Amino acid sequence: MSDPPLIIPVWIHSWMEIHDITLWGAADLHDFSTPRDESGERFPFAISWAVRMNPQIMAGIRKGPNQAYADEYAGVNNRINEQSVALTAEIKRRGFRSKPLAASERSDTVNIKGDFPHKTAATRAGLGWVGRNCQLITRLVGPWIRLGTVFTDIEIPCGPTIERNFCGRCMRCVEACPAKALKGSAWYPGIPREELMDVHACDRWKKERYFQYHKGHNCGICSSVCPFGLKVLKKKSGLNLTKKGLQ
């Protein structure tokens, strides 16, 4: 007899609803080098979710970041980090291994990256694809989100994995990037980051011009011009999206 199909535990659905998380899923990370737990063991899965940014603020930074965006960026990151710690604790309480991934933390300042790409977990969980702006894009809210990730060993249904981009021929983010850091390449799983963008050019531009906003960690211009994001402002329902609408 075949094994019974995996199902997502009811308590996870309830936890997400309580924390007002509408776009989330699980990612199979067996083929990736994930962070290790206290015993040195890696994690085979992750729970990934998105928290929406204020669309008016996102649409208002097409000429560069401002204080409202910096505050929103910090506030959403703090919310995600609080959710990550809470979900990790709940998973451990139920007898599984778990570890949170910080919302925006550079553990490798030379290569400008964190312990693991949130976008990898998100694409494997089916939340969206990576656009030419090197950010996760969801079909109806675009890149106007921040991502949360919690690693675990809970065996639950994953994906379906997103393995192609849906940006078509759009190059608006590439054309809008003031640092000329975006290469214009179409994303696919496993593409080297340097084929999508010059992260050092992006980092230099932000630090030289926007240092007042989190020491140059904020820009957002390439996100603000994304058609998938801008369409949210054209719909009355855009500010009250359901899970079905986000997916």
Q: Is residue 247 part of a domain?
A: no
pLDDT band at 4 (very low <50, low <70, confident <90, very high): low
Structure tokens at 137: 């894009």
pTM of the model: 0.91
One DSSP character per residue, 137-203 reads EBTTTBT-EEEEEEEE-------PPP-S---TT--HHHHH-TT--B--PPP-TT--HHHHB-HHHHH
Question: What is the rounded average pLDDT of the residues 117-133?
Answer: 98
Residue 245 in any domain: the answer is no
pLDDT for the residue numbered 2: 55
Q: How far is CA 246 from CA 22, 130, 143, 215, 218, in A?
A: 8, 16, 12, 32, 25
Residue 233 pLDDT exceeds 80: yes
Q: Flag whether pLDDT at 235 surpasses 90.
A: no
Percent of the chain scoring above 70 in pLDDT: 94
What tens digit of pLDDT does each residue of 139-196 get? 989 999 999 999 999 999 999 999 999 999 999 999 999 999 999 999 999 999 999 9
Taking residues 56-66, what's their average pLDDT? Answer: 96
Is residue 244 situated within a structural domain? no
Q: Which residues contact 124 (CB under 8 A, 6 or more apart)?
A: 27, 28, 29, 46, 48, 158, 159, 161, 162
Tokens describing residue 174:
């590439």
* Inside any domain, residue 168: yes
Is residue 132 in some structural domain?
Answer: yes
The total of structural domains in the chain comes to 1
Residue 174: φ, ψ to 5°: -65, -45
Tell me, yes or no, whether 240 lies in a domain.
Answer: no
Residue range 205-220: mean pLDDT, rounded? 94
Whether residue 238 lies inside any domain: the answer is no
Range of the structural domain that residue 150 is part of:
10-233
**Predicted local distance difference test score (pLDDT) of residue 62:** 96
pLDDT band at 109 (very low <50, low <70, confident <90, very high): confident
Band (118; pLDDT cuts 50, 70, 90): very high
